[in-house]
Amino acid sequence: MAGKKKETQTFEQQIQRLEEIVAQMEKGDAELADSLALFQEGTALIASCGKLLDEAEQTVVQLMKGADGAPVELPFDTEEESDG
């Protein structure tokens, strides 16, 4: 961890790293200091992913403006069965 350069990672790379951290922590064989470092890295990644998701949501809202320029919020269609 100490040898890694700070570089911007994509959302997908951050999620992959989170999955690696979870797998390491689930093993339960890491020392306390290592577990704490993994936990700290994981919480930072979660915050970063949350920020990226918020930014993506804002971009979608901006792209979905109505004729009057106001954002149009539409419900997210899930794959629910319709009564038809």
Per-residue buried b or exposed e for 11-34, using 16+ beta carbons within 10 Å of the residue's own CB: eeebeeebeebeeeeeeeeeeeee
pLDDT of residue 1: 46
pLDDT of residue 61: 78
**pLDDT above 70 coverage of the chain, percent:** 76
Query: In this structure, what is the dihedral angle of CA atoms 3, 7, 8, 11, given to the nearest 10 degrees?
Result: -20
Residues 6 or more apart in contact with residue 21 via CB below 8 angstroms: 38, 41, 42, 45
Predicted TM-score (pTM) of the model is 0.66
For the stretch 26-47, pLDDT in tens is 999 989 999 999 999 999 999 9
**pLDDT above 90 coverage of the chain, percent:** 55
pLDDT of residue 6: 56
